Amino acid sequence: MTYDEYIAETKENCKKVLADCTNRQLENIEYLRRILWEDDKVTGVISGVCSSLKGKAAENIKGVLFNSKFLADFNSVGLDMQNVMAYGPEAIDVVARCLALKHISINELVEEEREKRLRREAESPRKCSARV
């Protein structure tokens, strides 16, 4: 995968997680940042493997290892490639997904989710209770 593909996939995974959040949870950006960071469907940071990965880490990271944008992000947080590589391709995959979050506007995704909910609400038939 290219780094841009990591960013796009991570964005889609974020949307799925936000769809499961309550309206109240969508109001708390710091809470959302934490759950997106920790959710294995988004980054894999807790388990060390992204749950959407299905054993493809070694294949996925080939397109990202020498990507200048990925390497700039990687170096900007002070990581050491040799230390991360020692944990295997899954570690690079998780790091790529975590770094991808830097390129995703959570506020925009929350607004999209709210708009989607409003559209669904407007399209759903109104339930009336008439007393006779």
User: pLDDT by residue for the chain (132 residues), tens digit each?
Assistant: 999 999 999 999 999 999 999 999 999 999 999 999 998 889 988 777 775 655 688 888 999 999 999 999 999 999 999 999 999 899 999 999 999 999 999 999 999 999 999 998 888 776 555 555
The predicted structure's pLDDT at residue 40: 85
Quick one: tokens of 121? 């609400």
Asked whether the beta carbons of 18 and 101 are under 8 A apart, the reply is no
How many whole angstroms separate alpha carbon 11 and alpha carbon 15? 6
Give the pLDDT confidence score for residue 75 in this predicted structure: 94
* The three-state (H, E, C) secondary structure of 68-121, written as one string: HHHHHHHHHCCCCHHHHHCCCHHHHHHHHHHHHHHHCCHHHHHHHHHHHHHHHH
For residues 42 and 35, give the distance between their C-alpha atoms in angstroms, rounded to a whole number: 9
Q: Which amino acid is at 123?
A: E
The two three-digit tokens of residue 87, written as one number:
């944990």
